[in-house]
Structure 1
């Protein structure tokens, strides 16, 4: 048998076949993770030992841990267990997140609903942080509002509690956005939408999913 020709990716220098295999492994791992999450949720609650297990599993399967939505779960559990204790409120939040990831309130479906129902910028803009002003609304899958604020500040941005004439971005958290989809958009969104659509202020309205790509 003759030698097989190895085709390299021009950008990474890695064999394309290896890249394809890696992607397939990551996809299988994501499927396995979703199965694990469903098993943990079966009794309607979550205990710390189960959260510890999920974190260790993702640490052992890095190809999956850094893909959506596992990267969100990884970050959240890592934060919850940073003090060694999973308290009751964290258990409740984690169970809700597992439900969204496994299809109870699927994150991808929620993002698609946001894209069609909420007044997000189309196409979504490039997110810059240095000396940019952000306003946050809703609850975020990556963590608490305080954590999101610190992420923005660490990259040179600033957060304000309500949109102002100098605000550059309004970021809508995925969790909790269903309230706006099925009722009103919320005051922050309505204000930003009015300013943007009248051209009064150059403010961009983006989803958490888009924002996190630049973090």
Structure 2
């Protein structure tokens, strides 16, 4: 047992195979809860409609899972759903708003030409969309792009006086999200960049999160 215990301790695990680092365990719980929430949202949208009971269930789930309540997308969903249900009734306009919000959380549910569902998400994007400037501004690109390769996107930025970065820092001015998101975007590099950018933006950093479509439109406008 001595060798067994020492081996797990070196790997940061206890004798039950659980991480010794509490922060690591808490992060793992948060990720599982976010996964569960996204699964619940997909279930609510499965029949193409929502009802007040389903929305109330989502609200109660977030309230019961406080570990995830401060994480994206729960921290965006909760205040808007709570406001819609504050009077105990969800009218047609509120229903449309919540429906749009839930769809943007899990991505576009339509089927593109290749028959694969799009998993890109619109929820983190800045609203209203900002004017994009290039001189001395730093850009990071994440996801898959229809307009060109990452290198091509970086060259467009450099040609206009800006800088292209490979990661998210507090000095970043724009995160550009590809129109085609990753199937498992939450746990991919694509998703981790979005999450980090959201944390900086919510902390007050002047960081804009924009879509490929909006960014490419700014390129065309300058040509």
TM-score range, shorter chain: 0.3 to 0.5
Q: Which has the higher contact order (CA 8 A, sep 6+)?
A: 1
Q: What is the TM-score normalised by the length of structure 1?
A: 0.48
Question: Structure 2 length normalisation: TM-score?
Answer: 0.46
